[in-house]
Amino acid sequence: MAEKEPIGVIGTGYVGLVQGTCLAELGHEVWCRDIVQEKVDALNRGEVPIYEPGLAELIEKNRERLHFTTDMREVVTNARLLFCCVDTPPTYSGDADLSRVEQVVEEIGDLGEHALVMKSTVPVGTGRAITRGREELAYVSNPEFLKEGSAVGDFMRPDRVVVGADEASEEYRERVAALYEPLGAPIIRTDVASAEMVKLASNAFLATKISFINEIANVSEELGADVTEVARGMGLDSRIGPKFLQAGIGWGGSCFPKDVQALKQLAGNTGYHFQLLTAVLEVNELQKRRTIGKLQKHLGSLVGKNIALLGVAFKPNTDDIREATSLVLAGRLRGEGANVRVYDPIAAERAQDILRDAEICDSAEKALEGADAAVLVTEWPEFRELDWANDVKHSMKQPIVIDGRNFLDRDALEAAGFTYEGVGR
């Protein structure tokens, strides 16, 4: 058996922790570095700071091959392939904030010959800028395509792996590609700029697909069509496919909003107006606010009304609330004078500091008790299993449900006497 390459991972957020753990599962010795001492201490105790199905078990299984530290020298001493997995949040201008990436480059710059493997989502041209004047630093672009809530499976069973390097770093590109060969996925070898663009273009396209079906949903509501049937008919066309055709109250999370805005801004910086992405962003923001209009249609003024929001996380099977639709809805409802109650089985604790004007409940039943209306925001399975016809109906002040994900059983709710509104139905 070929000797396994030692790996360094810089940043232990959603991407870095999954990257390091899964490479350890493939047999590599992995050194994971983070600047937050408390997080490193927790990981060394076996405590996982994020919720991702299957991740905690995989970390425990590979404890002997996983090393967590705050010392960059420990990482670069033991590994030559250094995966950069730090955040690149948007700035006020819409550009990506590369300050954390630049800090990583500075720290490893004088510590010997290494290859920086970029997992963080960065603008096209970042690799060229980083390596300019740094001939000793090899650079490989290896964008991530993990979905929160299924990240471990996405890593182990990828649709494709993209590795980009320019001529001077081709040796390292092959070493990075070799890490993924056991997974049996197509490996796309390309240049750095193209690899960087693949990531941004992929997320922008998926966001466009969601915004498109949301527009179809809005028109369907006016014309009496059912968007779930429309999407089913569209999705059977092999040129379109069924994925990302679920209408709802808008997309969020750490990737789509940031990456769409970054690509739009990147185009603008070159003098090109990316009109389509401008519309995609606008549609998404308007979609979140349509829920307020639906509530007002049934309740009139929302002043003093008790509204239950079921779900905080931007999607199920994660505790991530970044750019979550729930935060926008809660803020708008408070602005309309409503009392907001919120429940999420995983993400509620993370939302406490942000949703200070909302009541964070410890159960869905508590959030629904005395509510004038309920809004399903995140399609957690337990919300479908509630006893809507009896317990929920009798505890609510008014049996009104706005199903923001078309997730609940409309026929059963209406038969039980609920006023039900989905999206595009």
Q: Outline where DSSP puts E strands in 73-198.
A: 81-84, 114-118, 137-141, 161-164, 187-190
Catalytic residue among 22, 85, 255, 361: 255
Contact 68, 44 (CB under 8 A): yes
Return the structure tokens found at 130: 């980083």
Token digits for 330?
A: 């809660």
End-to-end CA distance of the chain: 57
CA distance 329 to 309: 9
Side by side, which strands form the sheet with 187-190? 66-69, 30-33, 7-10, 81-84, 114-118, 137-141, 161-164, 187-190
255 catalytic residue (yes or no): yes
Angstrom CA distances, 384 to 74, 294, 365, 387, 410, stand at 48, 21, 13, 8, 11
CA distance 216 to 226: 10
Residue 30: enclosing H or E segment and its boundaries?
Answer: strand 30-33
Tokens of 268: 């603008």
Task: Give CA–CA dist 74/86, Å, rounded.
Answer: 18
d(CA 408, CA 399): 14
Residues catalogued as catalytic: 255
